[in-house]
Amino acid sequence: MYAIVDVETTGGKFNEEGITEVAIYRFDGHEIVDQFASLINPEQPIQPFVVKLTGINNAMLVRAPKFYEVAKRIIEIMDSATLVAHNANFDHRMLRLEFERLGYEFDKQTLCTVELAQQLMPEQESYSLGKLVKSLGIPITDRHRATGDALATVKLFKLLLNKDTSKNILQQSLKSFPKPVVATNLKSLIESVPASTGIYYLYDANDTLIYIGRSRNIRKNLTQHFTSERKKSVELTALVTDVKFEKTGSDLVAMLKESLEIKKHWPKFNKKSKRKNFSHGLYTEIDADGYITFKIKPAARDNTYITSFSNSKSAKTFLESMVNEYELCHRLIGLEKDGTGSCIKYDLQECRGACIKAESVADYNLRAQEMIDANSLVHKNKIIIDRGREPSERSIILVEDGIVKGYGYADLQIQFTDPKILRNVITEIPEDAESRHVVQSYLRHRRVNRIVNF
């Protein structure tokens, strides 16, 4: 019996992703005998490039069941079956990851239709699911959605079963994924760190700092480092002899401190972090008619942006959401090339007509400015208050005139709401555009306990 699976995910940091959609077809080698498909609320944001690829966005998943609510059904439909998927390592890893979060050990033998096709059809030019099924005349609908991809994989697998007349290749291709064993010396390091939010420092035998990381669960992240088969993790694990950590309580403080600490020490295994963590900015202009317009541009040479983004795709995704939230013009916000007549949103009655001057400059600019004020730190004074390291404590980040001045902790209301006192409590940090990016980006995607404007 086979369970043919496809999952869609949030994307993001390895082993911190979440499943957004799952489709499973129980297949007896001849026909489908049971099936299950559902969107899943991953309880974390979806990466912009994944939204563009799959069409699944955060709003679609608000009322979808969480993984624990469908876990029993997944176990039932996969009972005594071999997991089959196109790139089975990925689907098995994601299901194992979700079940581990529930304290359940998930381990299935797998068959990968990529590997089977490479052995049984070596003449194919590409083994990506879309191109492979097209070359074989297999129809596929809803590409990059779990149901569409899983159904296409069922048809592909049926064809591969027929081609493997001896069944030798099928048998030889079965894979198992035993739970990784952590070396004794690494177990003690894992046990020495808390299951708390913060940053951690890994050292080699010469007491040289070789990696700085952050996590909402330091112990879990360290375990992932020491059990991952990725090349970087294997190399890192072989060198680690000691670990130090610092609890932050707030994930935002952890992100901020991680960025600052990597810049300060440049550890060997943080090479990627040497690149700037944002590449594009959002700029504003006033057009000839007086309307506020927006433009996405590379931020390297111009620091007058109102907010920054990791890449141009995330900037465009942000603008799409702002069009809907503030009822802004698709053309004036920079998502439609210059043209004449109305924008595409006006034709759908989702734009009030600034593109054809049907809405007054004052009314349109009021909403555009509201959007700017809600998403920019430029010239702003804010105290960002979030979780502390202990229940009675609060973390604080001070922003003055758009500059992130520092972070700290306090347990008295007056300490984290009075800027004069706060300046004496915080740990000051150097003025840094990347620190501002970290804070702005976080506030776009996540909530904090409280923000005080002053």
| Burial class for 65, CB neighbours closer than 10 Å (0-12, 13-18, 19+) | middle
CATH of domain 184-274: 3.40.1440.10
Contacts of 427 (CB under 8 A, 6+ apart): 406, 407, 408
pLDDT at 271: 76
For 3, phi and psi rounded to 5 degrees?
-115, 105
With bands split at pLDDT 50, 70 and 90, how would you rate the model's confidence at 274?
low
Residue 42's closest CA among 28, 72, 25, 22?
A: 22
Contact between residue 225 and residue 189 where contact means Cβ atoms under 8 Å apart: no
CATH of domain 2-172: 3.30.420.10
Q: What DSSP character marks residue 272?
A: G
Contact between residue 42 and residue 98 where contact means Cβ atoms under 8 Å apart: no
Rounded to whole angstroms, how far apart are CA atoms 429 and 450? 22
Where exactly are the structural domains of the chain?
A: 2-172, 184-274, 280-375, 382-453
Percentage of the residues of the chain whose pLDDT score is greater than 70? 98
Percentage of the residues of the chain whose pLDDT score is greater than 90? 70
Residue showing tokens 């504003």 = 284
pLDDT at residue 145 tops 70: yes
With bands split at pLDDT 50, 70 and 90, how would you rate the model's confidence at 41?
very high
Rounded to whole angstroms, how far apart are CA atoms 400 and 378? 9
- What mean pLDDT comes out for the span 66-81? 96
What pLDDT, in 10s, does the model give residues 411-448? 888 777 888 888 888 999 999 899 999 999 999 988 89
CB 188: neighbour CB atoms within 10 A? 11
Give the DSSP H/E element, type plus range, for residue 156.
helix 146-163
pLDDT at residue 39 tops 90: yes
Residue 434's closest CA among 317, 319, 300?
A: 300
What pLDDT, in 10s, does the model give residues 165-221? 877 878 888 887 766 667 777 888 999 999 999 999 999 999 999 999 999 999 988
Contact between residue 44 and residue 23 where contact means Cβ atoms under 8 Å apart: no
- What mean pLDDT comes out for the span 39-61? 91
- What mean pLDDT comes out for the span 221-241? 86
pLDDT at residue 2 tops 90: yes
Residue 223's closest CA among 16, 40, 42?
A: 16
pLDDT at 228: 78
Contact between residue 61 and residue 42 where contact means Cβ atoms under 8 Å apart: yes
- What mean pLDDT comes out for the span 45-62? 91
pLDDT at 413: 80
What pLDDT, in 10s, does the model give residues 281-295? 999 999 999 999 999
Name the least confident of 9-18, 319-328, 380-389: 9-18
pLDDT at residue 257 tops 70: yes
Residue 309's closest CA among 50, 58, 49?
A: 49
Q: What DSSP character marks residue 179?
A: P
pLDDT at residue 401 tops 80: yes
